Structure 1
Amino acid sequence: MKRIFRMPSMLVLVALLLAQITACNRSDSPDRLTQREQSSARASSPTERILDVPYVPTPKGVVDRMLDMAQVGSADIVYDLGCGDGRLIITAAKERGARGVGIDLNPARIIESNENATKAKVKDRVTFIQQDLFETDFSEATVLTLYLLPQVNLALRPRILTQMKPGSRVVSHDFDMKEWEPDNVSVIGNSHIYYWVVPANFSGIWNLTMNSEKGSSRYSFIIHQNFQEIEGLALSGSSQKLLKNGRVKGEILEFTVEQRVDGKVVAGKFEGRIVGNSIQGTMRRAGENEPSYAWTAERNPATARPIDGSQKEKGPERQSA
């Protein structure tokens, strides 16, 4: 997907300017406390120094679009980091039947969120917590929503990829995740909304077994993964073939490998679902009437690598056909 570069909306720019002005002349009222002030009792770290996020309410139309993109329903647990007045969590509970947890460091916002939840009669389905979002365990979330700042999104990115379950959905208002390309982008007015599906980690060395009419075949796969994109090699004896069109969506992996069948080069499409260090899947060659073949694979756990680009590796190069 082609990346969209743009300036933040005027509303966000104004909020940032106001945040800088009030930082020089702020009162002691809880409503004016910033993330940094409330963290001052703790030792300052690079992470804590980027938590100064101004409160800018999300328009109702954008809230609805974010929930639509994530297909939020009654089975979901929605976490909103920097929940403000709780409108997104309350809407998810009241209109979609979801359960929700809102996180905000400002105590005034938490009081306001709880009051709004009571008015909306969804207090039994929502929880609001005054907490540093970087200390929040959101591993139970099936949907994570964000309206933060670019540097905060980037600092959260490794935790999203390691803490959330594959297949969980992430939606961010106005700010993306840089190298982690969104799976979908929606525009409503001056707002851009970015959507991702958390990918499983398929990286590493896999030993694959596939059964066909000619018997059992064994391969080794070396997979490099960068967010939801994969590349790699399929090894069989002295033969090395490149994996092509590799992509991960949640727990599902797909790629193609060109194979020589009866003297012809034929593309075989592999699909599989990961469970821990095991994959079960099917392979089907190009052609309308081609049968599918079951395959399984096991990974050496020690070969798995982070998929957030933190460990740059040179991609595989084809050495022989």
Structure 2
Amino acid sequence: MQHALIRCFAGAAALVFVGATPIIAQTPDVHYVPTPQDVVDRMLELTGPKPGDYLIDLGSGDGRIPVTAAKRFGINAHGVDIDPVRITEAEANAQRAGVQDKVKFIRANLFETEIGKADIVTLYLLETLNAKLRPRLLNELRPGTRVVSHTFSMGDWTADKHEKVGGRDVYFWIVPARVEGAWRLQNGERAVELQLKQTYQNVTATATVDGQPLPIEAVSLRGAELSFRIAGQDYRGKVEGNALVPSGGGDWRAERI
């Protein structure tokens, strides 16, 4: 009997030869190692679950993260795993915890499952899988969505927070809005031209009026909230598509140009 294994991300295709007959099956790309409960608790605490939030756990294993989220914080959640054994185990754990009405588990490839409705995404994968997943997190999740990973970082997307829990790494990010480009800020009769440059949640800016530079400082992007100070005046707004709408008071508005 010969055996051959073809690997692919998050649900490897196993081509097993029984005699001369090939049989194709799905097997996990990541060996299952459960996250310790104290790490689960801190991962969820970092995301600050609130009523109405929805959590998606990619590579959910025995379901302990979605189950804890539902039982401790009362939010709805689902887990995604390619291993049917893990799905069965997770469903049994949800039943035992009495949260089967708030939690479901889906057998699927995590790179193909829909994630756009998540308010919180939890991960315990590998560095290479996080890097492969990163574009989907940035492009498909809404600005402000919270992402937390056990052990593994996200390459050059620096975490907003990084903690040690029982000697284990926990990384936390907030998905940033896309703000790079030219904006026009109208404050009364004064029109300020802004040029923003962005690397993930890190933003630098210049400001001019009629071609003359103005001092701009304290530029900060947190999810969809963008704030800065121009010539001593503070601005704080929420990015809504191509508009920046005041969220801290003030009769001003900015539009992408």
Which TM-score bucket, shorter chain as reference? 0.7 to 0.9
Partner of 1:255: 228
Partner of 2:132: 155
Query: 1:38 touches 1:105 (CA, 8 Å); kept in 2?
Result: no
Partner of 1:303: none
Question: Can you give the 5+ residue segments of structure 1 that lack an aligned partner in the other structure?
Answer: 1-23, 28-33, 42-47, 260-266, 284-291, 301-321
Partner of 1:269: 234
Q: 5 Å matches for 1:41-120?
A: 52-120=29-97
**Paired letter, 1:275:** E
Partner of 1:232: 205
Q: What is the CA–CA distance in structure 2 between the aligned matches of 1:195 and 1:151, rounded to whole Å?
A: 17
**Paired letter, 1:173:** H
Please say if 1:294 is aligned against 2:255: no
Q: Please point out which of 191, 215, 221 is paired with 1:218.
A: 191
> 1:241 offset after TM fit, Å?
3.9
Q: Describe the shift of the 1:282–1:26 C-alpha distance in structure 2 as closer, same or farther (beyond 3 A).
A: closer
Q: What is the CA–CA distance in structure 2 between the aligned matches of 1:160 and 1:277, rounded to whole Å?
A: 21
SS of residue paired to 2:12:
helix
> 1:156 offset after TM fit, Å?
1.1
Partner of 2:116: 139
Query: 2:4 touches 2:14 (CA, 8 Å); kept in 1?
Result: no
Q: Please point out which of 264, 281, 284 is paired with 2:246.
A: 281
> 1:244 offset after TM fit, Å?
2.9
SS of residue paired to 2:77:
strand
Q: Please point out which of 163, 173, 194 is paired with 1:186.
A: 163
Please say if 1:245 is aligned against 2:218: yes
> 1:270 offset after TM fit, Å?
2.3
> 1:293 offset after TM fit, Å?
4.5
TM-score under structure 2 length normalisation: 0.86
Query: 1:74 touches 1:99 (CA, 8 Å); kept in 2?
Result: no
**Paired letter, 1:294:** D
Question: Can you give the 5+ residue segments of structure 2 that lack an aligned partner in the other structure?
Answer: 17-21
> 1:69 offset after TM fit, Å?
0.8
Q: What is the CA–CA distance in structure 2 between the aligned matches of 1:171 and 1:38, rounded to whole Å?
A: 30
**Paired letter, 1:161:** L
> 1:26 offset after TM fit, Å?
10
**Paired letter, 2:141:** M
**Paired letter, 1:89:** P
Report the number of matched residues: 243
1:207-254 Cα shifts (integer Å, max 9, x gaps): 21002xxxx101221111111111122121121346433221011101
Structure of higher CA gyration radius: 1
1:284-320 Cα shifts (integer Å, max 9, x gaps): xxxxxxxx743201113xxxxxxxxxxxxxxxxxxxx
Q: What is the CA–CA distance in structure 1 between the aligned matches of 2:33 and 2:224, rounded to whole Å?
A: 35
> 1:269 offset after TM fit, Å?
2.7
**Paired letter, 1:299:** R
Query: 2:121 touches 2:148 (CA, 8 Å); kept in 1?
Result: yes
Query: 2:174 touches 2:222 (CA, 8 Å); kept in 1?
Result: yes
Query: 2:80 touches 2:110 (CA, 8 Å); kept in 1?
Result: yes
> 1:89 offset after TM fit, Å?
0.5
Q: What is the CA–CA distance in structure 2 between the aligned matches of 1:137 and 1:201, rounded to whole Å?
A: 21
Query: 1:231 touches 1:243 (CA, 8 Å); kept in 2?
Result: no
Q: Which one has the bigger strand percentage?
A: 2
Q: Which one has the bigger helix percentage?
A: 1
